[in-house]
A and B are shown apart, each in its own frame.
Chain A
Amino acid sequence: MMLIPAVLLALVFQYIPMGGIVIAFQDYKPYLGFSGSEWVGWDNFRYLFLYPDVGQVIWNTLFIALFKIVAGLIAPLLFAILLNEVRLVGFKRVSQTLVYLPHFLSWVILGGILLDILSPQGGIVNQLIVALGGEPIFFLGDGTWFRVTLIVSDVWKEFGFGTIVFLASLAGINPALYEAAEVDGANRFKQTLHITVPALIPITIVLLTLSIGNILNAGFDQVFNLYNPLVYDKGDIIDTFVYRLGILNGKMSFATAVGLFKSVVATILIVISYRLAYKLANYRVF
């Protein structure tokens, strides 16, 4: 059958690693292998909750992810509503083309750009701040500013792309509604408030519920490409923590335990959020 290659790929590259999770319950030593390594039961998980940094890491993850979700939903929503008021088709098209672009660039490229423009030694953003009479800000070296930078740059990268679903819903509004409202004497603001906004509520609820599943994903690519030891305390998230511990420090079992913990919580959340989305807005993904 045609499914054979896909089944094989899924088995090998998805299901076999799931089997590899056993090392979370072992004291895995690469030279001893799965069968030779010592079983330690739940020790790695016990260690996880006692490890001094873990609480902070989980908190960072939740904090950053939550702000990204909320800001990442509001920004495209507002942008779509404002763009909907634009009558010049050319302006609309050019504007859309420009704002979608950052979505397609990787965090490596954008990280390189941000490192350059946010540099405290004369990066163009700091030049602007100084020109306006402010003090230069070390965006990527200060914990609080680092979080702000993460959230703002994530919104900047994705808000344009996020408007697509909202614009699609707006395109589905029956123009007769606007005409009727106009006949009734509603001005444009009232029309927006009573027709446009309600039309966007269902899709907003869907996106919000679906994002619950992502609450433990604060964005590995972005954080990894922007952070440095100065901001580990405020900027370390679960994924970067697993990487540093597992691959760089060789604590493979412990890192796998952390990863498993995250994976299990995320799976539960995703299932809950899909159910919710189905209940609240009758939305089905599959």
Chain B
Amino acid sequence: MYYKTKGYRIFSIANYTFLGILSLLCILPIIHILAVSFSSMAPASSNMVTFWPIGFTTDAYVKTFGNSNFINSLWVSVNRTVLATIIGIVIMLITAFPLSKEDTSFKGRSWYTWFFVFTILFSGGLIPSYILVQKLGLMNTIWALILPGALSVWNVILMMNFFRGLPKELEEAAYLDGAGHIKTLFLVYVPLSLPAIATLSLFTMVAQWNSWFDGMIYMSDIKDYPLASLLQTIIVQQDLSKINVDPSMLENISQRTVRAAQIFIGALPILLVYPFLQRFFVKGIVIGAVKG
């Protein structure tokens, strides 16, 4: 038996070590940031902190939450994530349902499919989209963040494939019992598709929470920025000129511990939903992406 040979045992040890190190590499940077965020200023700025806080303090978090811009942005982000996820999922469902029908019962199905798929292949690009949002008067409203991305053709395709996997008899039975299309969708198909819907909802939430670029270009006032855009501005660009704060605040923001705290808060919702996400998503993705 191969696994009893000496060579295989040596390989095994090396393999476990290597994979262990790789796995740790994916999490250690986040732990480092967490440790810095809970350390007091002096050890953090003299680079003494590695993976455990030195001089434990929650100052950085107190300062972060004392910043009204930060609270505002957090609120915008929460709002946007909740609204966009609900709208996105409803649109995905009502779009995927008719598209999952056979050509015979829904004439023009393939025409509609191509109409949507074409938007994946080709797009007007950044500038025309920007001009459009401007002309629609959506600038500086939360709708500029929600509507342009409300229809995700990828999600529709995944959902459509999932619906196709459900037995057709269900639908026929529902029609015989007098249910219309809407009733059939929400009372028969949706309850059966909860794992897929949960996966795609979580994906949508993550994408919405992480989305930063639209906030930066469509919002002119930093007060309307979602959290991701605010973090981009103050942590990545380190452009503090956009934020109107008194000098003492500026000093706080530029501190390494505060930056670390902000990064961590930005990542926190993802870290929290991740365990739930993880349970579903392998199944969800594999069903959709590698069929056949």
Contact = CB atoms under 8 A, between A and B. Distances in A.
A7 B115 contact: yes
B8 A18 contact: no
Contact of A95 (B20, B91, B129, B150): B20
B126 A243 contact: yes
A256 B123 CA distance: 11
B129 A17 contact: yes
A165 B290 contact: yes
Contact of B30 (A15, A19, A113, A264): A113
Interface stretch (B66-74, B168-176, B244-252, B259-267): B259-267
Given A18-B122, A95-B20, A247-B217, A82 B15 contact: yes
Nearest to B227: A108
Contacts of B124: 14, 16-21, 263
Interface residues of A, number: 90
B183 interface: no
Contact of B16 (A91, A247, A284): A91
Nearest to A2: B94
Interface size grouping (class) on chain B: 35 or more
Contact of B232 (A12, A83, A169, A225): A225
Interface stretch (B57-65, B190-198, B281-289): B281-289
A36 to B, nearest CB: 14
Nearest to A92: B19
A255 B265 CA distance: 35
A50 B130 CA distance: 26
Contacts of A263: 122-125
Contacts of A21: 124-125, 128
A209 to B, nearest CB: 15
Contact of A164 (B136, B209, B286): B286
Contacts of B112: 3, 7
A218 interface: no
Interface in A1-50: 1-3, 5-7, 9-10, 12-21, 23, 30
A105 B210 contact: yes
Given A10-B151, A15-B119, A100-B278, A255 B127 contact: yes
B128 A256 contact: yes
A102 interface: yes
A97 B126 contact: no
A106 interface: yes
Contacts of B128: 16-21, 23, 256
A173 interface: no
A145 interface: no
B33 A99 contact: no
B206 interface: yes
29 contacts: A1-B98, A2-B94, A2-B182, A5-B94, A10-B116, A10-B119, A12-B132, A16-B128, A18-B122, A20-B124, A82-B19, A99-B26, A101-B30, A104-B274, A104-B277, A106-B266, A109-B210, A109-B266, A111-B236, A112-B266, A113-B32, A116-B263, A121-B47, A165-B289, A188-B11, A220-B213, A259-B127, A263-B123, A264-B122
